Chain A
Amino acid sequence: SQTIHQWPATLVQPVGSPLSLECTVEGTSNPNLYWYRQAAGRGLQLLFYSVGIGQISSEVPQNLSASRPQDRQFILSSKKLLLSDSGFYLCAWSGFREGYGYTFGSGTRLTVV
């Protein structure tokens, strides 16, 4: 069965420090991968998605970047964190065809201080 792992679960980082969040998927090949952010409140904002190794699409210009060095690995990064980067980050995967829906990781709660 497919599983998705996301870490760390919580993170407190000072402003200006770098960031690296990692997400890996097991039990499937060539998944579509996504990074979402949920700021204080409710909405889910799509940040990046990837349909293959090295293929990254950005939905919202920001202080973050994403990379996909391996088929089932998706990394969210920042060189210098801002206070506004605080939030709950969720990684997700889906099958290639539309309508499969997402399976989400357990999320990373990032607090920038």
Chain B
Amino acid sequence: AQKVTQAQTEISVVEKEDVTLDCVYETRDTTYYLFWYKQPPSGELVFLIRRNSFDEQNEISGRYSWNFQKSTSSFNFTITASQVVDSAVYFCALSEGSDGGTSYGKLTFGQGTILTVHP
């Protein structure tokens, strides 16, 4: 069974600090996809990034960066110079891999990390 663990329940930082959100996953599939979503106070889930299991290259997008390490089954998310607008719940998720072409793309979510950035 697939599993995603976000061990950090809540993180509180002061604006301009860097913060890393941890994500550890478990899967038996060789092909899988990892995601990060942001849920601001409004409730809607916002897609941040998708990474497939064959691409371990780290990615940077503005103040956001992601570190994917298959050796440790981790897909961590770092926000550099955090801002108050970054306050949200962040979810890491894992998609089932191919299953004879019948995969339905179901996502398994972690429990989420509540990030609060104080001014």
Q: Which residues of A contact B (CB under 8 A)?
A: 32, 34, 42-44, 46, 49, 51, 88, 90, 92, 94-107, 109
Contact = CB atoms under 8 A, between A and B. Distances in A.
Given A51-B104, A100-B105, A44 B91 contact: yes
The 10 closest A-B pairs by CB, nearest first: A42-B112, A99-B33, A98-B103, A104-B45, A44-B109, A94-B105, A98-B105, A107-B43, A106-B44, A43-B111
Contact of B105 (A90, A99, A109): A99
Contacts of B114: 42
A107 B89 CA distance: 15
B97 A98 contact: yes
A102 B112 CA distance: 16
B73 interface: no
A104 to B, nearest CB: 4
